[in-house]
Amino acid sequence: MSKSLSLAVILSALGALSFGCSTVPNPEPQVAAQERPRAAAATPTPDPERIATGSRCNDWEVYFDTGSAAISETARTVLGGLAECIQRGDVRDVSIVGSADPRGAAPENLELGQQRAEAIRAVLVARGCDPSVVRTASVGEARTSGSPETFATERHASVRTRDQVR
């Protein structure tokens, strides 16, 4: 009798712990705040070409260290999700625009922005994406405020996706 009571207690505990569980896949893992997709407008306009908010197929900002085009492991993981979207055909066009903070000469910052965009493109292509789907460009320091308080946010590449119409 004691074994059946223990078994009943264990089964009840497991049932209680699984309450609220479902077969729906877990949401995407949280990424570092600096690599989250852009926030949507407060009242978004419906657009048949946009994939649902929170999708790995949405737009991203990838941030870099000063003077570097090295991509963090977290950013590589996020880009892996985007690569899956491209391969499935959910995304038909990716535009990557690299930026730099205003420290340094303008020509070097333009080149650094391009290196950042190309580094992201290289990750996507290495994961099997069609190179013709991924375009790169650089604005260097052209879109910066010039304020030291914003330098960290100006060292980035914007990844914009255009989704497949269904």
Domain count, the chain: 1
E-strand ranges in 22-112 read 60-63, 91-99
Residue 71, SS3? Answer: coil
Burial class (CB in 10 A: 0-12, 13-18, 19+), 39: exposed
pLDDT at res. 90: 86
* 102: in domain: yes
Q: Is the pTM higher than 0.75?
A: no
* 105: in domain: yes
- Interval 7-20: pLDDT, tens: 343 444 434 333 33
* 61: in domain: yes
* 46: in domain: no
pLDDT at res. 39: 36
CATH of the domain at 64: 3.30.1330.60
Mean pLDDT of 36-65: 56
Domain, as residue range, for 120? 33-38+52-163
* 3: in domain: no
* 144: in domain: yes
* 26: in domain: no
| pLDDT tops 60 at residue 67 | yes
Question: How far are the Cα atoms of 7, 29, 71 from residue 77, in angstroms, in the given order?
Answer: 42, 10, 10
Helix (H) / strand (E) containing 75? helix 73-88
- Interval 138-159: pLDDT, tens: 999 998 888 889 899 999 999 9
